[in-house]
Amino acid sequence: MDSLSPAHAADTSLSDEQLPQQRNGLRGDEATGTDIYDKTRPSGQVIGISFCRDTPLLWRVAELKTAREEFGVIGSLVGSLARQPRQNVRLGRPLELLNEEAQLLSQTGKAVALRNVESEEEEGNSEAVQRYQAYLDRNYEEQKALALEDKKAVLQRVKTERHNCNTGGEDVEKAVQKRLDSLDKSFSFPRSAMAIQLCTARAGLSHCPEERSFLAADWPMPQDARSQMRFGVFRDLRRRGFYLSSAGKFGGDYLVYPGDPLRFHAHFIAVCVSMDAQMQLYDILSIARLGSNVKKTVLLCSPGNSEEEEEVVYTSLQWSGMA
């Protein structure tokens, strides 16, 4: 079995920096966020949203950055972290988006839905295979040279240590020297020991804009009244500068953060209710009780009924404190 290096990289030009993951919920280290982004980000980038069945996913680091910085779209990382796969505290790409987040991105015109390309023609494939084999050969040669240098360095170090110790290890030193000399001829680097790279994002297509437009698909998400209402609330809160993430655990629709979730605790739990929906008193009481338990304010968010007026009415629920 080949020994694989766990380096995921979309392509070499992108830095393989992983975004620290912010999970839903209350975490003590929320406020320790440091600015991990460089300011020289590529602007004008079009974000490609790929779909795993119905779930929108982002795969490229640059796109993750753009979405977070320019559009305040947080999403949640769901993949294994390449260098530390066996833990759940910090996860890696892909970034799963809420349907509303994907919709918001697409409305800005800076994002397109990509359809899953099945397969190219056979000739193209054989050419790609040849390219890949050539790449592997090249890579093998490079790794072989590096491994040889590595080994030499180790032997050299052993030799100098022996020399410094000066404890009568003359013959040992000589043996090491001899091995060092013959290393160039005798060194073997088996092909199976080669490290190979596993790509996180798909290579090839979908980088340049022309191919993007070729791949762009219709928006695959169905729209019903409930998702429209949720989107209305999401867009309005986002426009007011809040950051949002899903709040399934809190029994609401969104957790609302006053700033980037890396820096802030959520202040509100948003529950989307249609303007003319009847609500059971039980439900209101239970979410109010829950909100006060987790020290958050529950917001009942109802988008206005008129189509042109995109007003959302917010009602908060709190214990009045009167006995």
Partner 1 sequence: MGFSDRGKQCLLPEEALYLMECGNLQVLYRDLPLSIQEGYELFLTLETVSLQQYQVFSHLKRLGYVLTRFDRSTVPTQYERQLNLTHCRDKQGKHLKRKRSQSPTARYPNSAITPSTHTTPHFHRPRTETPSQGEAMESSSNSGGTPGRSWWIREGDDPQPTGTQNPDPRWDFMTISFPDLGSRRTRCESLASPEPSLLPGALRVGSCDVGAWLGKLNLKQERLSRRERERQRYRDRYKRDVNNDPEVRRCRNWAEYAELLERRRSQRRRERPANLWEGSVTPLTQPGECLSHGELLERISVVEPSHLFDAASRLASSDEWSICFNVYQPDTVAEFKKSDPGRPYTRLCICSFDGPVPELHAIKQLSLQSGDVPVTFAVVDHGDVSFYCFKDFQLPVDVVS
- Where along the sequence are the contacts to partner 1 (CB under 8 A)? 2, 4-8, 23-25, 50, 52-53, 55, 57, 59, 75-80, 82, 85-88, 91, 93-94, 96, 98, 116, 119, 125, 128-129, 132, 196, 198-203, 245-246, 248-249
Q: Which is nearer to partner 1, 42 or 85 (CB)?
A: 85
Q: Which is nearer to partner 1, 209 or 248 (CB)?
A: 248
| Residue 37 appears among annotated catalytic residues | no
Least gap, CB of 316 to partner 1 (angstroms): 23
> Is 272 in contact with 233 (CB distance < 8 Å)?
yes
* Residues 179, 186: Cα–Cα separation, whole Å: 9
| Residue 185 appears among annotated catalytic residues | no
* Eight-class DSSP state of 15: -
Q: Which is nearer to partner 1, 66 or 246 (CB)?
A: 246
Q: Which is nearer to partner 1, 250 or 268 (CB)?
A: 250
* Residues 112, 217: Cα–Cα separation, whole Å: 8
Q: Which is nearer to partner 1, 57 or 269 (CB)?
A: 57
Which string of DSSP letters, residue by residue, matches 258-302?
SS-TTT----EEEEE--TT----HHHHHHHHHHHHHTT-EEEEEE
Least gap, CB of 99 to partner 1 (angstroms): 9
Give the pair of three-digit tokens for residue 141: 């040669």
- Residue 303 exposed, middle or buried by CB count within 10 Å (0-12, 13-18, 19+): buried
Which string of DSSP letters, residue by residue, matches 207-235?
SSHHHHHHHB--------HHHHHHHHHHH
Least gap, CB of 4 to partner 1 (angstroms): 5
| Residue 243 appears among annotated catalytic residues | no
Least gap, CB of 71 to partner 1 (angstroms): 17
Catalytic residue from among 207, 265, 267, 314? 265
- Residue 184 exposed, middle or buried by CB count within 10 Å (0-12, 13-18, 19+): exposed
Closest of 293, 291, 222 to residue 252, by C-alpha: 291
Least gap, CB of 104 to partner 1 (angstroms): 15
Q: Which is nearer to partner 1, 101 or 173 (CB)?
A: 101
* Residues 144, 167: Cα–Cα separation, whole Å: 35
Least gap, CB of 281 to partner 1 (angstroms): 20
| Residue 245 parent element (H or E) | strand 243-246
* Residues 97, 159: Cα–Cα separation, whole Å: 56
**Helices and strands, counts by H and E, the chain:** 7, 12
- Peptide bond just before 94 cis, omega within 30 deg: yes
Catalytically active residues are: 257, 265, 296
